[in-house]
Amino acid sequence: MSAEFGGTKVVCFDLGNTLIEFGPRQIAMQYERLTTKLVDMFGSCDATKLKEIRDRQIVAPYHDHYRENDVEECCRELIEGIFPVTATDEQVGELAEERYRVFVDIIELADEILPLLGALSERYRLALLSNFPCGRSIRDGIGKLGMTAHFDAIVVSGEVGWVKPDPRPYRELLEQLKSEPAECIYVGDNWLADVQGSKSIGMKSILTTEHVPYERFEPKPGDHDPDQRISHISELRDLLLV
Ligand SMILES: [Mg+2]
């Protein structure tokens, strides 16, 4: 193991663009499916308008004190932003259900991930902390991919109400793990949410650049640097298992 990670007991993971790809390709699929659903519901859908609203919603928590989006509010805003209607609760629920289904349908796991988690779990406890407004999507999604049993704790921002880098989701994770931050490494792809969030709370940080994220946050003066950078998730084997 790399010397700087001595004393590590827990390896915490981000999900999107860390353990699974969730970049421009998946976002495009999501937008396409939501457009199709709205065509079903209303007879037409301005896909450009949908993209404009969804793009804004994706980054909204980072401009609102890290308050996580409410899925139903987002669906209502989407319907009312595209169509001259007041959305009914039923329509909002129908669109929210489609959002959930799309996420679970489109996510895939690369072949190396389950063996990697299996190997790491022989030496460390593993945990998952994901920024996503719908906890059910993440929990059922990782269930579909066969990852659930590897994690001692799973925290989703939508169930906490706040997104990383806010300390609250990290604190919830540490509480569930009954662990100290200094015993934890956090592996993620997002400079702001993952590197700044985990370093601020006292964890070690590994930044992965394997996947292209949809939303990007550039380093600012005074930011924390990650303890390590990797360009492929399999590099964790050399860093943490050798
Ligand atoms: Mg991510």
What's the pLDDT tens digit per position in 74-110?
999 999 999 999 999 999 999 999 999 999 999 999 9
What is the C-alpha separation between 223 and 196, in angstroms, rounded?
A: 7
The pTM assigned to this predicted structure is 0.96
Q: How many angstroms separate the alpha carbon of residue 1 from the centre of ligand 1?
A: 24
Ligand 1 centre to CA of 211 (Å) is 9
Q: How confident is the model at residue 193, as a pLDDT? A: 98
Report how far ligand 1's centroid is from the alpha carbon of 215 (Å). 9
Tell me which H or E stretch contains 213: none
Q: Tell me what pLDDT residue 215 has.
A: 86
Contacts of 33 (CB under 8 A, 6+ apart): 98, 102, 105
Q: pLDDT band at 1, cuts 50/70/90? A: low
213 C-alpha vs ligand 1 centroid, how far in Å?
A: 7
For residue 234, give both structure tokens.
């399999």
Q: How far is the CA of 10 from the centre of ligand 1 (A)?
A: 18
SS3 166: coil
| Res 134 pLDDT > 80 | yes
- Phi, psi at residue 45, to the nearest 5°? -160, 130
Ligand 1 centre distance from Cα of residue 88 (Å): 33
Question: What is the 68 CA–ligand 1 centroid distance (Å)?
Answer: 15
CB-based contacts of 61, cutoff 8 Å, min separation 6? 67, 68, 69, 131, 157, 163
Confidence band, pLDDT 50/70/90 cuts, at residue 4: confident
Distance 42 CA to ligand 1 centre (A): 33
Where residue 216 falls among pLDDT bands split at 50, 70, 90? Answer: confident
Beta-sheet pairing, 125-130 with 10-13 = parallel
Position 125 scores a pLDDT of 98
What spacing in Å lies between the alpha carbon of 144 and ligand 1's midpoint?
Answer: 19
Mean pLDDT calculated for residue range 179-186: 98
Residue with tokens 């930044």: 207
Higher pLDDT, 214 or 73: 73
Ligand 1 center from residue 141 Cα (angstroms): 15
Cα(18) to centroid of ligand 1, in Å? 6
pLDDT of residue 2: 74
- What mean pLDDT comes out for the span 60-67? 96
- 228 strand-pairing partners: 206
CA-to-CA separations, 228 to 90, 124, 179, 224, in angstroms, rounded: 47, 18, 22, 12
- Report the chain's mean pLDDT, rounded to a whole number: 97
CA–centroid distance, 17 to ligand 1, in Å, is 5
Q: How far is the CA of 19 from the centre of ligand 1 (A)?
A: 8
Ligand 1 midpoint to CA 75 (Å): 22
Task: State the DSSP code for 73.
Answer: H
Tracing tokens 């969030």 back to the chain, one arrives at 197
Reported confidence tier of residue 122, pLDDT bands at 50, 70, 90: very high
Q: Which residues hold their Cβ within 5 A of ligand 1, which is an ion?
A: 14, 16-17, 189-190
